[in-house]
């Protein structure tokens, strides 16, 4: 009677331990043992058990019309076997029985997973090609604690949820199955039947390494360990790198719209094409890092990648996982770091994704006051749950380990830190101390930063955190969140408000220029002009500038020159370097044809030279996060909208004098105080003709004199070009 009930559950694909029913079993009363081999083969018209030792074949009996077969043998010694079937159209095939294999996941795996400490969990979950007892196949594992049945479905079983039911391991909620004979490239999903409300769903693999291209959504079996890397030297040197004292000039890129192939239907470029075109471009322009908008698999182009489905899969829009590895490898061979935009703050509600995974709020909070971002239409991870926290931590380590990524820019950190983020009164619940801090998310962020730096020294973590939360870039052991750096959103907003003003009004907004220096050393800041500032009606960088065409270009050159001399690392979104007129559009390439025009081409050359000077002058990058690296000369000249200051390297004698004229009025005989009596070479002038300026300047440099000025013993008299920035370096 019991086995009949078990068979019914197998036929309904809702048995939590199909190995109890299927496969080879010794049965019988007392010492009178007999063998039974049971198999569910709905595609079979006939079925046999084949003894692999002798080749003998035993015809099985069909005991259920749906295709349940049993073989009873009057023997009790088990033997290795295969199943052989003949279909109604006469096709014959042989295969190993999935239910003849032992468990793959160990008790120690289960213990670590339940504790939330299995940091290489990606090596156990998902779909893994392996050999067991010399038999090749794929091992599947998935977490679904509230399911009564989970099946692997795919092309190999005609998407029939009855064919390959998985077994749950004890009370862990972890289901696993090894299916022999499967190969790389096979499509699969998990079909889940919940214990609650007859919920049934077909889900993509949360740990899938490769996915079909949208709108299809199946996971694809893929061997992520076959690529042979050629970046050993880079990886060794990276672990010794102190990025705080190195130049960091980040080129932010959305691969889907950096460049396309318009003569081929506006198709995407591939990872390997980017390895040729993008890397050569970035290297020529002098950027040190490429930051990629999220590449984890996502169903909707319009989300720019920020609503992730496949956290462990580079999107198939541009090629295979090996293709992406090739791209990263080529970056490293060209001394370019790769920062990946990472989105652990939320995930989309798409039916094949993580939401309501096993008929319950498994990855997300059940309480909507904690579990949903209504403004974004997304769900929030339950950071207090060990398995969920482990999922995200192992994901971060996965990208660093498997894909050699050099760091993360973590998106929407503020939304993680605050329980009341974008919520009205009554829409959020205070923490146990009555505050609005999300203690579980804070704990997760700290653990993330500790782990990635412990296992992968030399990588960078950068927070997009838009509030005044203290200690974002302070180490965890000193009470901070543990990020290396933080986007300086305050500087960005102040500068855009200032630079968009007509110069005649800028003297009334002078504090926008200087306010950032009051807090510039409270965090390790990255000065950013990101993708968020050139969409949704905010205009492109060039279009934000006031005045006629010439003044727009001059203002933008001045703005970039001030940005590169201000304390903090640098980030610019693609297109800003050559003066894109249109706002960024995710569904088409940049307007590269603009480089045929003189003013755009010369702005482009200026951006290249600016990167070159920045990377070659330690005074501009070596002491970015300490007051010792910056010194005002004069910030009080509001009437003329002129700023002058000094940047110093680790060796304070190595310094650069910077002067910015934020008006279109040239200023002659403009005197500033300087530290030394020597010749100051003009190493950068944004008004040069080669940059599409008016070619006004200081003939290559100026000698300082004994005339005291600005509280200093020496001074020099300058010509300040209109809407321009000047850099001077002492030559002794």
Domain extent listing, the chain:
23-96, 107-220, 249-487, 626-731
- Above 80 in pLDDT, residue 28? no
pLDDT at 2: 60
Burial of 489 (0-12, 13-18, 19+ CB in 10 A): middle
Q: How does pLDDT run across 166-224, given as a tens digit for each residue?
A: 999 999 999 999 999 999 999 999 999 999 988 999 999 999 999 999 999 999 999 99
Helix H segments across 362-438? 368-371, 386-402, 413-417
List, in order, residues 6 or more apart from 462 with CB less than 8 Å away: 339, 407, 408, 409, 410, 483, 484, 485, 486, 487, 526
Cα→Cα distances 701→334, 413, 599, 717, Å: 34, 45, 25, 10
Structurally, at CATH architecture level, domain 107-220 sits in Sandwich (2.60)
* Residue 291 among the catalytic residues: no
Extract the tokens encoding 13.
């694909």
Distance CA 43, CA 47 (A): 10
The conformational region for residue 144 under phi > 0 = left, psi -120 to 50 = alpha, else beta, is beta
Q: Which of 678, 685, 671 is nearest to 655 (CA)?
A: 678
Q: Where is average pLDDT lowest: 91-95, 322-326, 604-608?
A: 91-95
Assigned CATH class of 626-731: mainly beta
Q: Which fold has domain 249-487?
A: TIM Barrel (3.20.20)
User: One fold for both 23-96 and 107-220?
Assistant: yes
Q: Which of 165, 162, 158 is nearest to 187 (CA)?
A: 158
pLDDT at 116: 85
Which residues on neighbouring strands pair with residue 674, listed in sequence order?
A: 714
pLDDT at 1: 39
Q: How does pLDDT run across 381-396, given as a tens digit for each residue?
A: 999 999 999 999 999 9
The arithmetic mean of pLDDT across residues 564-577, rounded, is 98
* Residue 36 among the catalytic residues: no
pLDDT at 309: 95
- Above 90 in pLDDT, residue 31? no
pLDDT at 29: 62
Average pLDDT, the chain: 95
Report the length, in residues, of the chain. Answer: 732
pLDDT at 32: 55
Instruction: Assess contact for 679 and 703: CB atoms under 8 A.
Output: yes
Helix H segments across 82-167? 107-115
Assigned CATH class of 23-96: mainly beta
Distance CA 666, CA 399 (A): 51
- Above 60 in pLDDT, residue 30? no
- Above 90 in pLDDT, residue 39? yes
| Active-site residue, from 411, 440, 465, 494 | 411
Q: Where is average pLDDT lowest: 115-119, 123-127, 540-544?
A: 115-119
In this prediction, residue 426 has a pLDDT band, given cuts at 50, 70 and 90, of: confident
pLDDT at 117: 86
| Active-site residue, from 341, 440, 464, 624 | 464
Distance CA 552, CA 161 (A): 62
Burial of 121 (0-12, 13-18, 19+ CB in 10 A): buried
pLDDT at 646: 98
- Above 90 in pLDDT, residue 369? no
């Amino acid at each position: 009677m019991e086995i009949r009930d078990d068979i019914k559950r197998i036929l309904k694909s809702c048995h939590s331990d199909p190995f109890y029913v299927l496969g080879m079993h010794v049965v019988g009363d007392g010492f009178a043992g007999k063998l039974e081999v049971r198999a569910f083969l709905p595609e079979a018209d006939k079925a046999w058990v084949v003894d692999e030792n002798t080749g003998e074949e035993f015809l099985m009996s069909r005991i259920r019309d749906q295709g349940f077969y049993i073989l009873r043998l009057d023997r009790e010694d088990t033997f290795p076997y295969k199943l052989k079937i003949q279909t109604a159209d006469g096709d014959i095939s042989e295969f190993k029985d999935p239910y003849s294999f032992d468990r793959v996941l160990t008790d120690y795996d289960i213990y670590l997973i339940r504790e939330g400490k299995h940091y290489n969990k990606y090596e156990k979950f998902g779909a893994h090609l392996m050999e067991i007892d010399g038999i090749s196949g794929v091992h599947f594992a998935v977490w679904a604690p509230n399911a009564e049945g989970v099946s692997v479905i795919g092309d190999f079983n005609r998407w029939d949820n009855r064919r390959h039911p998985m077994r749950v391991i004890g009370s862990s909620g972890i289901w696993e199955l090894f299916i022999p004979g499967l190969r790389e490239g096979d499509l699969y999903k998990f079909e889940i039947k919940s214990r609650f409300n007859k919920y049934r769903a077909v889900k993509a693999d949360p740990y899938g390494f490769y996915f079909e291209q949208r709108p299809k959504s199946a996971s694809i079996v893929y061997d992520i360990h076959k690529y042979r890397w050629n970046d050993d030297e880079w990886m060794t040197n990276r672990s010794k790198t102190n990025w705080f004292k190195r130049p960091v000039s980040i080129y932010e890129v959305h691969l889907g719209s950096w460049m396309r192939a318009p003569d081929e239907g506006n198709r995407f470029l591939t990872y390997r094409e980017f390895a040729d075109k993008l890397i050569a471009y970035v290297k020529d322009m002098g950027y040190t890092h490429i930051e990629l908008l999220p590449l984890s698999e996502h169903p909707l182009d319009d989300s720019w990648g920020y609503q992730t489905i496949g956290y462990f899969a580079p999107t198939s829009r541009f090629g295979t996982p090996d293709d992406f590895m090739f791209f990263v490898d080529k970056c490293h061979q060209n001394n370019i770091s790769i920062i990946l935009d990472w989105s652990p703050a939320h995930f989309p509600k798409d039916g094949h994704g993580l939401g309501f995974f096993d008929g319950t709020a498994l990855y997300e909070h059940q309480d909507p006051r904690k579990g949903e971002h209504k403004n974004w239409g997304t769900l929030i991870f339950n950071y207090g749950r060990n398995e969920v926290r482990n999922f995200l931590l192992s994901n971060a380590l996965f990208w660093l380990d498997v894909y050699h990524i050099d760091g993360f820019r973590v998106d929407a950190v503020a939304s993680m830190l605050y329980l009341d983020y974008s919520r009205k009164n009554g829409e959020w619940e205070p923490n146990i101390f009555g505050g609005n801090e999300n203690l579980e998310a804070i704990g997760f962020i700290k653990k993330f930063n500790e782990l990635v730096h412990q296992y992968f020294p030399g990588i960078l973590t950068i927070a997009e955190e838009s509030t005044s939360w203290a200690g974002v870039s302070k180490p965890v052991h000193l009470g901070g969140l543990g990020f290396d750096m933080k986007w300086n959103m305050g500087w960005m907003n102040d500068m855009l408000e200032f630079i968009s003003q007509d110069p005649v009004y800028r003297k009334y907004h002078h504090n926008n220029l200087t306010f950032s220096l009051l807090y510039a050393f409270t965090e390790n800041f990255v000065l950013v002009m990101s993708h968020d500032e050139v969409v949704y009606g905010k205009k492109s960088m060039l279009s934000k500038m006031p005045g006629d065409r010439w003044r727009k270009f001059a203002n933008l050159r001045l703005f970039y020159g001030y940005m590169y001399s201000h304390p903090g690392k640098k980030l610019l979104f693609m297109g800003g370097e050559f003066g894109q007129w249109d706002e960024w559009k995710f569904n088409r390439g940049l307007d590269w044809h603009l480089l045929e025009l003189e003013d755009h081409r010369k702005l482009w050359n200026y951006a290249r030279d600016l990167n070159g000077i920045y990377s070659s002058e330690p005074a501009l990058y070596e002491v970015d996060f300490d007051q010792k690296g910056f010194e005002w000369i004069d910030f009080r000249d509001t009437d003329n909208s002129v700023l002058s200051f000094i940047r110093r390297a680790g060796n304070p004698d190595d310094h650069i004098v910077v002067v910015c004229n934020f008006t279109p009025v040239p200023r002659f005989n403009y005197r500033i105080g300087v530290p030394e009596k020597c010749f100051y070479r003009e190493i950068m002038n944004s008004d040069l003709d080669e940059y599409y300026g008016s070619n006004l300047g200081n003939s290559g440099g100026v000698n300082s004199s004994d005339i005291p000025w600005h509280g200093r013993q020496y001074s020099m008299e300058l010509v300040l070009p209109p809407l321009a920035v000047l850099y001077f370096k002492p030559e002794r």
